[in-house]
Amino acid sequence: MASIKQEKNTEQKFEDITLNKKKKFQILDLSPYVFISPFFILFAIFMLYPLIYSLILSFSKWRAGVTTFVGLENYKILLTDPLFWKSLSTTGIILLVQVPVMLIFATVIASVINSDMLKFKGAIRLGFFLPALIDLVTYALVFSLIFNEHYGMINQLLNALGLGSVKWFSDGTWAKVLIMIAVTWRWTGYNAIIILSGLQSVPKDLYESASIDGASKLTSFFKITIPMLKPVILFCAILSTIGTLQLFAEPFVLTGGGPRNETQTVILYLYDKAFGSFNFGLASAGAYIVTSIIAILSYFQIKLSKGGEI
């Protein structure tokens, strides 16, 4: 009898130990989720909730804090508004002209600052990257002074050369050019540093083999450098496309969307609708249209470049 009781006690203790271990493992299994929970909580509050709320708002009319469901009315108003299409076309023109020019400059600059013959590489690279660190509003204000039609440095230089002054702010075409110059100045160095990182991963043996075969540096650039940089250039093109479609600070500070709404980008248009007339439903609908355009353009960029395959 005593031996049977001892066996039962031993089994009971074993079961208790097993249960305790299971509980400990259950507690340990929850610990990773506890550690990553702050990210998901912040993401849900500051990202997921605004996305869902703005989607609901795009099908609603907001007035005096009261939201009324209106279906697709906001989308119909936007798609039949000539000013919306004009702002979209203005953004498209800037995108089609500025982004390719900027990427060409960035690729050339990256190739130059990657040269082994270049001295003070760190300082030069920092100099090209510095514009990206300058505050948007600050540099836009500086550009408005430099390109001022009456006393700006650029027009004074043009007058000194006998070329005459340019109407940077009162002519729609030149106002667009001014915005393109400003955006190109700020982001070319940023993209050049990204492309430089891709250049540094290109094996130097390829260039040595090409030089032995008699290829010039220009031939090597187009036959080796550009193909090897396709994934990086694709990445920069997608980032630049997204950034240009979200262009706001430059036209807002430099031209205010003028003259005659010639430089009003689509984000500036939506800003006026949201905070000018407090039509947040219309602005939310426009934001989702722009998001859809970004997704479509990114998809076609990846398809046309075959995903950046070399």
Tokens representing 290 are 């722009």
Q: Residue 2 has what pLDDT?
A: 46
Cβ pair 168, 178 in contact under 8 A = yes
Say whether both 142 and 232 belong to one domain: yes
Cβ pair 296, 288 in contact under 8 A = no
Say whether both 249 and 276 belong to one domain: yes
Which of the 8 DSSP states describes residue 295?
H
Say whether both 174 and 38 belong to one domain: no
Residues 55, 51: Cα–Cα separation, whole Å: 6
Say whether both 45 and 98 belong to one domain: no
pTM for the full model? 0.82
Q: Which domain holds residue 9?
A: 2-58
* CATH number for the domain harbouring residue 126: 1.10.3720.10
Evaluate whether residue 160 is within a structural domain.
Answer: yes
Compute CA 286 distance to the chain's CA centroid, rounded to the nearest angstrom.
18
Say whether both 241 and 266 belong to one domain: yes
Say whether both 81 and 44 belong to one domain: no
Q: Residue 265 has what pLDDT?
A: 93
3-state helix, strand, coil in the chain (%, to 5): 75, 5, 20
> How many other C-beta atoms are found inside a 10 Å radius of the C-beta of residue 128?
20
Q: How confident is the model at residue 105 (pLDDT cuts 50, 70, 90)?
A: very high
Say whether both 99 and 189 belong to one domain: yes
Report the number of distinct structural domains present in the chain.
2
Say whether both 130 and 251 belong to one domain: yes
Q: Residue 134 has what pLDDT?
A: 85
Say whether both 118 and 149 belong to one domain: yes
Evaluate whether residue 65 is within a structural domain.
Answer: no
Say whether both 282 and 212 belong to one domain: yes
Least confident of 30-34, 98-102, 285-289: 30-34
